[in-house]
Amino acid sequence: MPKRLFPTCFILILWISVCCLIQPVFAQQANGTYVDPMIGSQGLGHIFVGPSLPFGMVKPGPDCGDGGSNSGYKPDMAEPVIGFSQVHISGTGGGPKYGNIQLMPFSGNEDVIDQRSPRDQETAKLNYYSVLLKKYQIKAELTTTSKVAFHRYTYQSNVSKAIKVDPGFFLGEKPIPDYREAQQFVGSEIEITSDTSVSGYTRIRGGWNNGAAYTVFFYAVFDHSIKSLTTWKGRKLFPGTVKQADSGEKTGALLFFGDRGSETVQVKIGISYISSLKAEQNVAAEIPGWSFDKVLNDGRVKWEKEFKKLEIDPAATIEQKIMFYTALYHTMLMPVDRTGENPLWTTDQPYYDDFYAIWDTFRTSSPLLTLLSPSRQTEIVNALLNIYQHDGYLPDARSGNFNGRTQGGSNAEVVIADAYVKGLKGINYEQALSAMLKDATVPPGGNEEKEGRGGLTDYNNLGYVSLNNVRAGNRTVDYAYDDYCIAELARGLNKDAEYKQYLKQADNWQNLWRGDYKHHGAVGFIMPKDASGHFLDSMVYADANAKVSYFNYTPLTNEYPKYRCWWCCFFYEGSSWEYSLSIPHDIPEVIQRSGGTRAFINRLDTLFANGYYNVANEPSFLTPCLYHWAGRPDLSGERVRQIVSHNYNSSAAGIPGNDDSGAMSSWLAFHMMGFYPNAGQDYYLLHAPLLKQSILHQDNGTDFKISTINFSDKNRFVKSVTLNKKPLKRAWITHEDIIKGGELVFEMDAKPSDWGTNELPPAKLKL
Amino acid sequence: MPKRLFPTCFILILWISVCCLIQPVFAQQANGTYVDPMIGSQGLGHIFVGPSLPFGMVKPGPDCGDGGSNSGYKPDMAEPVIGFSQVHISGTGGGPKYGNIQLMPFSGNEDVIDQRSPRDQETAKLNYYSVLLKKYQIKAELTTTSKVAFHRYTYQSNVSKAIKVDPGFFLGEKPIPDYREAQQFVGSEIEITSDTSVSGYTRIRGGWNNGAAYTVFFYAVFDHSIKSLTTWKGRKLFPGTVKQADSGEKTGALLFFGDRGSETVQVKIGISYISSLKAEQNVAAEIPGWSFDKVLNDGRVKWEKEFKKLEIDPAATIEQKIMFYTALYHTMLMPVDRTGENPLWTTDQPYYDDFYAIWDTFRTSSPLLTLLSPSRQTEIVNALLNIYQHDGYLPDARSGNFNGRTQGGSNAEVVIADAYVKGLKGINYEQALSAMLKDATVPPGGNEEKEGRGGLTDYNNLGYVSLNNVRAGNRTVDYAYDDYCIAELARGLNKDAEYKQYLKQADNWQNLWRGDYKHHGAVGFIMPKDASGHFLDSMVYADANAKVSYFNYTPLTNEYPKYRCWWCCFFYEGSSWEYSLSIPHDIPEVIQRSGGTRAFINRLDTLFANGYYNVANEPSFLTPCLYHWAGRPDLSGERVRQIVSHNYNSSAAGIPGNDDSGAMSSWLAFHMMGFYPNAGQDYYLLHAPLLKQSILHQDNGTDFKISTINFSDKNRFVKSVTLNKKPLKRAWITHEDIIKGGELVFEMDAKPSDWGTNELPPAKLKL
C-alpha cells in the first residue's frame, strides 16, 4: 500500500487546529485550509506538490529519484530528494518539461556535485512544502510568490551549512541524443555576484512539446554570507572560481556558509524568462524582506480571494471540502501568468504560457475559470490571440514559449467560442475568428503535430482525415466540433457564409460513422477509412522482411501493436467506444444513429458496465451526462455519483488520471455542485448534486446559489427543481441564468422523477 | 555627383605606400592592400564599409542618418554619424537587420541620449575604418576580430571624454507597430559592472525575414576608468545608476572618462549570442591586450591567407586588382561563422548564420568558395544540414537564428548538389537528400514564405504553381531546377526512383511555357497560368467598390500596380524576358523552344540591346553566357566584357545592384578570370578572360593556372585554348580539371575563331 494513502483528512483537522492559532488569515477556517497539495501526487495524477500562487510562474518543489517524473515529485518515499528546482508543471503526461535551477542544501565540506538524501516528515499545505533530508538532518521548507521562491533550510547545530545551486539540472534527461519528448541541454551559466548572491541561467529545449530552446534566468540571494565556494563546469570542479560562462556545458556552484551562528539559511530565488537582472528585480518587487511566514501568508491570502468565490455547504464533510477546494486549487495552477516575462515580443496584452494542453482543459478548466474569474479567463483568451498574432497560430499546447504540440483538434476554437457564448467582454472576436479560420484553412506544414490542424488537406478535401495521417479518428471528431465553434462565432459576428460553411463541416464526423457496424450490442461506430473512402477492418502495422503484417481494428482498439508509435493510433488515447460518443454539439444525431433513445441508453449502459468508459481521460468527460439527451438526467446523476465515489477521494491517489493542469479536478468540482458545462456552448446540464449547497459569489456582484431540499444519502434523485422560485422542468440552465444571479433549488427524493424527461438539452444549431 | 566617385585607385596607391612602411604584413603589397571596402557603398550595392574578418561574426561600423540603411552606412556625407554598432550585414535589400549595441563617442558633460555628428576624413581599408566626428573633433577608428570589435577614439586635448553605450538602438525602426520587414524592439539591458566595464544585451525581432526575437549580448571594456555615468530607461535619465534591468524599454548609458590625461579612449567590445559572460570570454580569448595595431594586423594576416589563394597577374592594372580582391573580400563577409554561439542547440557541427539569401548566393558565391576554400564550404553545407536537423527545414535565407524567408526556390538544394558534384567530402549526403526531399514533398504550412516551398501543393498536383499563389512564376522555375539538383544527388546515391521522378519534375518549367506567345521578335515565354490550366493575359490587381480592376501582363511586366504588394509579382524581381531564359539545366530545350539556334541568338541580342537584361539581379546571372549553347562563346565573352565595363568599377558606386553578401562580386571575380560556374553542375564555361593571368593555389596542394598568349585590349577574342598543353576545342572545363591542377592557356586574337562552336556545354542528364 502506498504510503500516502492514510487518511489525509485526519491530518488536515490537526493542521487546521494548529494553523488557526498562528495564521491569522486562516482564523475562520479559510477554505484554503482544506487544500491538500498531495492529492493526485500518487498514481497517474502527476500533481505538483510544492507551493504555488494562483497561475504562479514559479513553482518550487522537490525533485526525486532519477529526475524523470513530470512534476519532479515521486510519491515513493524510498526515492531520495535530489534537490528543489524552481519551475514545474502539474498533472501532465508524456515527457517532462522544466525542473530548472535546482537548489540542494547539504551538510559537510565536500565538493560533491551529486547530492541526494532520503526523506521523511513530508508536509504539503497551501503555498507550503517541507521535508526532512534525513542524510543531513536538514529541514527544508518552501513557499513562494508569483515569480520568486523562498527556501528556508534548517541545519543541525554547528555543522557546515552548504547549498548547491545547479542551473545544469532539468527533468527528463535521457542518455540518447534527441530522444523524443526528452528535454535536451543547451547551456547554463552561473556567477557568484556578491558574498550573498548568485545569478545565472539554464537553457533547455525539447520536452513533451518538442519545444525550441527556452532560457530560465535566476537571481538567488541568501541571508548569510558565503564563506567559501566551488563552481563546476562539466564534471570539473573550480574551487574559488566565481564565474562559469556558458560553453554548452553544465555549470553550478557549491556554496558554504560556515558552521557557526544561526542554524537556518534562507534563500530568495527570483526567476525570469527575460534576464538575471529582471530576476533580481522580481525579488526586490515581490519579497523585499526576509519573513518566510509573511510570504507564506500573503500567498494564502491571494488564494483565499479565489476560494472565497465558491462557498460550499459549511456542513459538508471534511473529505468533501478537501476534495472540492483542492480541485479548485488544481484548476488555478496553470496556465501560468508570465505577463512581463515574454522574451519573444512586447505587448500590452497579458502573456500566459504552459497551456498543457487545451485539448485537456477546454472542457472543464476554462468553463470553471469563466465562472470563478471571468477577468482572468478574458486575459487568457487575449493571451491566446496575442500568441496567434505573433507566432501565426493559436496554440493547442504551449510550453517554454513554444506552440506545440497538438493531440488532435485545434481546441482553442472551443475556448474562444465558450468565451463568446458566455459574453466575455474585452476580447477582439473579429481577430479571434481570423485565428480560428486560419486553423481551419491553412495546413500547418512541415511539423503537423505542432499547431493548427494536421491532416487538414484530407479533412478539407475528403470531409474526414484519412488513414494516411496519424490520429485520423480523433482529428476528424475534434475538427468537426472545432468547426461548430467557428460556426457559432461566425453567426454571432454576422458572417453568414462562414456560419453556413462551418455549421455544415460540423457534421464531418458523420463521414467516419460506419452505420452498419455492430459491436457488443451497439450499432454505428466511428471507424478508420482510407483516402479512397473504404472503411478498414485491419491495418498495417509493420512491413519487415518484405512481409506486411496487419492487425484487426475494433471499436475497443486503443493501442497499436509494437512497431507503431502509440500516438499514431486512429484515436489519441481512446477507443471508438469512447470517441463515437464524443460529439458534444450533436448528441441527438448520435442517438438517432445509435438506433434511438432506448438503444442509446443501452449503449451507454454497456459502455459503463463493461469498463469501456475511461474515467482517466478527457474525451469521455461529457459521456456520463449523455443520458440527459435521452431524457434521463437521473441516470446521469447516478453515473456521476458512481464515478466520483469509485475514482475520486482525498487521498494522495485521489485523482484517477493525469490531472492535466486541473482538467480532472475541475470536472469533479462541477459535478460535486450538481451542474456541468458543455464547453463551447452556453448551457450547463443539471443533475443531483453531491453537495447540499454551493454559492458562487460572482465578480459582477451577484450570487448564484445552488441549494437542496431533503438532501440525504438516501435521497439521491431529483424530484423537482426551481430557479428563482419558479419550477424548472428542464435539466439544464443557461450561462445567463447564472450570471444574473439567483437561486437554483433541487428538491431531492429517494427515487427518480419525471424532471428533465421532456424538454431535452439543446441540439445543434439549425440554419 | 556623389562624393565618393573620385578615383579610389589614386588614394589606394598613396595608402599602399604609407601602409607598407607601418604594416609589416603588407610589406610586399599584399593582395589585401587592394581591398577597398567603400566599393559598392554607393548606389544599390548596400555594402558594409566597416572592418570584418572573413565570415566574421562582428562587423562594427558607422550608422548614419536615420538608421534606416541596410548596412548602417549612408554614402551621402551630409548624413551625420549617429553611432557605431557592432553587428551589420552587407549588400542586402529589403528591410534592415541588426545594427546592435551602438557606441558613440562624444565630448561634453551633457546628459543627452541622442548624439549625432557631421563627419569628415572617412577612411575604409581592410579591417579598418576611421572617421572624424566634426562636431566633437573626435577621430573614431575601428578594427575587429571575429567576435570582438576594437574602437579607438581620439579626442581633443583637455575636453570631457564621453562614450554612449546604446543597446536600445537597432537599424530600420519604424513608427508603425509590426510594420512589414521592420525590426521591432523587444528588450534591452545594461549594467556597469566595474569602473572599466559594461555589459548587457539587446533583444530584437522582425526585419526583412520576419524573424523571431534574437538577443545580442555584449561586454565592453575600456582602457580608462569611468569617472561618472548616467544610465537611461525609455527617455528617463538616471545619473549614477549602474543597472537598468529589462522591462521592455530601451536602456543605455552615458559614460564620462574625465578631461585629463590621454586623449585616446579605447574600447574592446565582445559580442555573443549566448550571454554577456560569453561575450566577456570572447574578449579575453580574442583580444587579451590593448594594441589596436596588433588586432588590425592580425586580422589582415587572416584575410591575406585567403587572398593569397588567388593570385592574379602582377601586371594587372591597379583598378583591376582593386576590383578583383575587393570582390573576393565581399564574398567572404557572409554567411557569418557563429560556431559556439548558437543559443538554440548544442552540436559538434559548425554553425553559420546570415544566409542572406541562398537564392542570391548559390550561383556564384558558393562555387567561388568551393574553389577558394573547400573546407569552409563543407562547413557551411554541414551547418545547413544541422539547421535542417534541428529546425525542420533547410533555410533559403536565415538571419538572427531564424529560417526565413524565401524568395522563390528552396535553393539550398543547389548548394548541396554543387558540393556533391564537386566532390566535397565530410558531408552526410544521405541526410542531405532527406532534407532536399522534405523541401520537395512537405508543404511548409502556415507561413509559406518562411522556408521550404510555398505553393508546393499546386506544384506537385498541377506540375506548376498556379496564380493562386504569389511568385508563381519563379517558384515554378526555381523548383524545377531544385528538382534537377535532387535528381543529381539521388543518381549519385543510387536512388533510382527518386532520380527518375525528380529528373522528370525538372521539366516542370515547361508547363508554364506558352509556346505561341510572341513578343518583340521572340517566341515562347513562361507566363502566368491559373489553376485550371489557362494562360492569362490580364490579372486582377484590386477589387474595391465592387469593381474589379485588371492589368495586362506582358513578358516585360516586373512590377505590379499599386494595391498589390511588390513581392506578390508573378516573377520575383524580374520579368518573363529574364526568367524564361533562367533554366540552367536545360538550355538546349530553351533554344529549341525559342525556334532554334539562330532565333535564340536573336532573342539574346534583343534582350541585351533593349535593356531587358537586368545586370543588378541574380536570375540573369548566367544569361550572358547562354551564347555558349548556341556555339558562340565569343558572344558570351563580348557580353561579359561589355557588362563589366559598363557596370563595375573601383568607385564607391562600382557595383550595379545589391551585392547580396557577395553574389554580384563573385560573379565579377569569375568573369575577370575567364570562367564561370553553372552552380549545381560540375562544369565551368570558358570565355575570353579580362585578366592576363590568374593562379588558384588550392588547399589540396595543386595549382590551377589560367594564362593567356597575345593578351591585349585589341585581342579580345579566343583563338584557341589548351588544357595542360593539349588543345581544348570545347568552351568548358570540369571541376575535376581544376582540382587536379594544371594550366589552361587562352591564345587571344582580334577576331572570333571556331573555338567552342561544335562541342557545346552539357545538356540535361538523360535517363
DSSP for B530-572, written as a single string:
-TTS-B-SEEEEEEETTEEEEEE--TT--SPPTTS-GGGSSST
Looking up cell 529545449, which residue turns up?
A: A205
The neighbouring-strand residues paired with A749 are A717
Q: Are A346 and B248 within 8 A, CB to CB?
A: yes
Do B359 and B661 meet the contact criterion of CB atoms below 8 Å apart? no
Joined grid coordinates for residue B88: 551589420
Contact B446 A457 (CB under 8 A): no
More confident position, B174 or B542: B174
Collapse the DSSP code of A712 into the 3-class scheme (helix H, G, I; strand E, B; otherwise coil) and give the result: coil
* Beta strand ranges found along B681-738 (DSSP E): 683-686, 693-697, 703-709, 717-723, 726-727, 732-734
In a mutational test of the A interface, the residue from B173, B241, B274, B436 whose CB has the highest number of chain A CBs within 10 Å is B274
* A186, A345, A443 ranked by CB distance to B213: nearest: A345
The Cα B46–Cα B70 span in angstroms is 6
Q: Where is pLDDT greater, at B563 or A213?
A: A213
The minimum CA-CA distance between A267 and chain B, rounded to whole Å, is: 21
CA distance A276 to chain B (A): 8
A234 pLDDT above the threshold of 80: yes
**How many CB pairs below 8 A link A and B?**
110
How high is the mean pLDDT of chain A? 94
What are the cell numbers at B702? Answer: 595543386
Quote the mean pLDDT of chain B.
Answer: 94
Alpha helix segments (H runs only) across A134-230:
none
Contact B184 A243 (CB under 8 A): no
Q: Which residues in chain A are contacts of B207 at CB distance < 8 A? A: none
- The whole-number pLDDT of residue A28 equals 57
Q: What is the DSSP string of B263-287?
A: SEEEEEEEEESS-HHHHHHHHHHH-
Q: Please report residues of A whose CB lies closer than 8 A to that of B340.
A: 247-248
By C-alpha distance, the chain B residue nearest A435 is B446
CA dihedral B54, B57, B63, B67 (to 10 degrees): 130
CA angle (B695 as vertex; B690, B701 as ends), nearest 5 = 160
Q: What's the average model confidence in pLDDT over A629-636? A: 98
Helices (H), B197-317: 276-286, 292-307
CATH topology classification for A32-306: Beta-galactosidase; Chain A, domain 5 (2.70.98)
Averaged pLDDT, A296-304:
98
Q: Which CATH number fits domain B3-306: 3.40.50.1240, 2.70.98.10, 3.30.1330.60, 1.10.3720.10?
A: 2.70.98.10
Taking contacts as CB-CB distances below 8 angstroms, the residues of chain B near A243 are 277
The answer to whether B345 contacts A186, with C-beta atoms less than 8 Å apart, is yes
Q: Which three-class secondary structure state does DSSP give residue B21?
A: helix
A18 touches chain B (CB under 8 A): no
Cβ-based neighbours of B537, under 8 Å, separated by 6 or more: B552, B553
Query: Cα separations (Å) of B101 from A700, B37, B270?
Result: 49, 22, 10
Please report which confidence band the pLDDT of residue B667 belongs to, taking 50, 70 and 90 as the band edges.
very high
Whether A284 and chain B come into contact, CB under 8 Å, resolves to: no
Give the confidence band of A16 by pLDDT, cuts at 50, 70, 90: very low
CA-to-CA separations, A672 to A321, A471, A668, A724, B728, in angstroms, rounded: 10, 33, 6, 21, 92
ipTM of predicted complex: 0.91
pLDDT grade for A159, boundaries at 50, 70 and 90: very high
Order of strands across the sheet that contains B310-312: B310-312, B693-697, B703-709, B742-749, B717-723, B726-727
pLDDT at A544 over 70: no
| Collapsed DSSP state (helix, strand, coil) of residue A656 | coil
Q: What is the C-alpha to C-alpha distance for residues B325 and B646, in angstroms, rounded to an integer?
A: 19
Reduced to 3 states (helix: H, G, I; strand: E, B; else coil), residue B117 is strand
Contact flag A346-B186 (C-beta cutoff 8 Å): yes
CB contact under 8 A, A340 and B447: no
Per-residue pLDDT at B558: 83
B187 contacts in A (CB within 8 Å)? 274-275, 343, 346
Count of residues making up chain A: 767
Task: Tell me which chain A residues have a C-beta less than 8 angstroms from the C-beta of B452.
Answer: 445-446
Q: CATH 2.70.98.10 residue ranges in chain A?
A: 32-306
Distance CA A144, CA A146 (A): 7
Q: How far is A410 from chain B (nearest CA, A)?
A: 14
Q: Do B186 and A245 touch (CB under 8 A)?
A: no
Once rounded to an integer, what is the mean pLDDT over residues A293-310?
98
Position B122 pLDDT exceeds 90? yes
Mean pLDDT across the stretch B607-628?
A: 96
B344 touches chain A (CB under 8 A): yes
The torsion angles phi and psi of B666, rounded to 5 degrees, stand at: -70, -30
Q: Are A128 and A150 in contact (CB under 8 A)?
A: no
- Tell me the average pLDDT across A621-625: 98
Report the C-alpha gap between A536 and A538 in whole angstroms: 6
Residues on chain B touching A275 (C-beta within 8 angstroms): 187, 189, 201, 245-246
How many Å apart are CA A765 and CA B13, to the nearest integer?
84
Extract the C-alpha cell encoding B291: 594594441
The whole-number pLDDT of residue A27 equals 45
Q: How confident is the model at residue A559 (pLDDT cuts 50, 70, 90)?
A: confident
Cβ-Cβ contacts under 8 Å, B280 against chain A = 245
pLDDT given for residue A545 in this prediction: 66
- Per the CB < 8 Å rule, is B245 touching A275? yes
Cross-strand partners of B677: B684
* Contact state of B245 with A212 under an 8 Å Cβ cutoff: no
Are the beta carbons of B744 and B721 closer than 8 angstroms?
Answer: yes
Q: What is the DSSP-derived secondary structure letter of residue B623?
A: G
User: What are the residues whose beta carbons fall under 8 Å from the beta carbon of A484, sequence distance 6 or more?
Assistant: A417, A502, A503, A506, A585, A586, A680, A764, A765
**Which residue shows C-alpha cell 583563338?**
B719
Side-chain-facing half-sphere of A492: CA atoms under 13 Å: 21
Probe site for chain A from B277, B447, B456 (most A CB atoms < 10 A):
B277
State what percent of residues in chain B have pLDDT above 70: 95
Contact yes or no for A238/A230 (Cβ under 8 A): yes
Q: Could B245 and A438 be called an inter-chain contact, meaning their C-beta atoms sit closer than 8 Å?
A: no
CB-hemisphere CA count at 13 Å for B372?
28
pLDDT of residue B110: 82
Interface test with A, best of B241, B247, B275 (most A CBs within 10 A): B275
Range from A16-25, B188-197, B369-378 carrying the lowest mean pLDDT: A16-25
pLDDT of A41 > 80? The answer is yes
Answer yes or no: are the C-beta atoms of A86 and A144 closer than 8 Å: no
pLDDT at residue number B539: 84
Domain B341-506, what fold?
Glutathione S-transferase Yfyf (Class Pi); Chain A, domain 2 (1.20.1050)
Nearest chain B residue to A203, by CA: B343
Report yes or no: A16 at the B interface, CB cutoff 8 Å.
no
| H helix or E strand, kind and range, residue B766 | none
CB A709 within 8 A of CB A746: yes
> Which residues, 6+ apart, have CB-to-CB distance to B65 below 8 Å?
B74, B76, B79, B80, B82
Query: Average pLDDT in the A371-400 region?
Result: 97
Q: Is it the case that residue B4 has pLDDT exceeding 70?
A: no
Q: Which residues of chain A make contact with B274, given a CB cutoff of 8 A? A: 187, 246
Q: Does domain A308-337+614-767 have CATH number 3.30.2080.10?
A: yes
Chain A contacts of B233, Cβ < 8 Å?
none
3-state secondary structure of A742: strand
pLDDT at A411: 97
Using the Cβ of B275 and the Cβ atoms of chain A, whether some distance falls under 8 Å is answered with yes
Do β-strands A138-144 and A128-133 pair in parallel, antiparallel, or remain unpaired? antiparallel
- Give the per-residue pLDDT at A2: 35
| Structural contact between residues A268 and A149, judged by C-beta atoms closer than 8 angstroms | yes
B243 interfaces chain A, CB cutoff of 8 Å = yes
What global pTM score does this model have? 0.94
- Chain A, 482 to 501: residues with Cβ < 8 Å from chain B are none
8 Å CB contact of A186 and B343: yes
Q: What's the pLDDT score for residue A5?
A: 38
Q: What's residue A384's pLDDT?
A: 98
Does B197 touch chain A if contact means CB atoms closer than 8 Å?
no
Q: Determine whether the interchain pair A452/B438 forms a contact, defined as Cβ–Cβ distance below 8 Å.
A: no
The per-residue pLDDT for B300 is 98
Q: What residue in B sits closest to A183 (Cα-Cα)?
A: B345
Nearest to B669 by CA among B696, B651, B646, B629: B696
Diameter over CA atoms, chain B: 81
Three cell numbers written together for B81: 554619424
Q: Touching check for A479 and chain B: CB below 8 Å?
A: no
The verdict on a CB contact (< 8 Å) between A277 and B243 is yes
CB contact under 8 A, A213 and B247: no
- In chain B, ranges of CATH 2.70.98.10 domains: 3-306
- Suggest the residue from A190, A274, A461 to mutate for an interface test with chain B (most B CBs closer than 10 A): A274
Contacts of B394 in chain A (CB under 8 A): none
Segments of chain A assigned to CATH 3.30.2080.10: 308-337+614-767
**pLDDT tens by residue, B357-412:** 999 999 999 999 999 999 999 999 999 999 999 999 999 999 999 998 999 999 99
**Contact yes or no for B581/B626 (Cβ under 8 A):** yes
- Helices B318-331 and B292-307: crossing angle in degrees, nearest 10, is 100
Interval B456-476 mean pLDDT: 96
What pLDDT, in 10s, does the model give residues A483-492? Answer: 999 999 999 9
CB within 8 Å of chain B, chain A residues 203-242: 203, 205, 212-213, 215
B280 contacts chain A (CB < 8 A): yes
The SS3 call for residue B386 is helix
> What pLDDT is stored for residue A108 in this prediction?
86
Q: A343 — contact with chain B (CB < 8 Å)? A: yes
The torsion of the CA quartet B25, B28, B30, B34, rounded to 10 degrees, works out to 120
pLDDT at A3 over 60: no
Contact B343 A280 (CB under 8 A): no
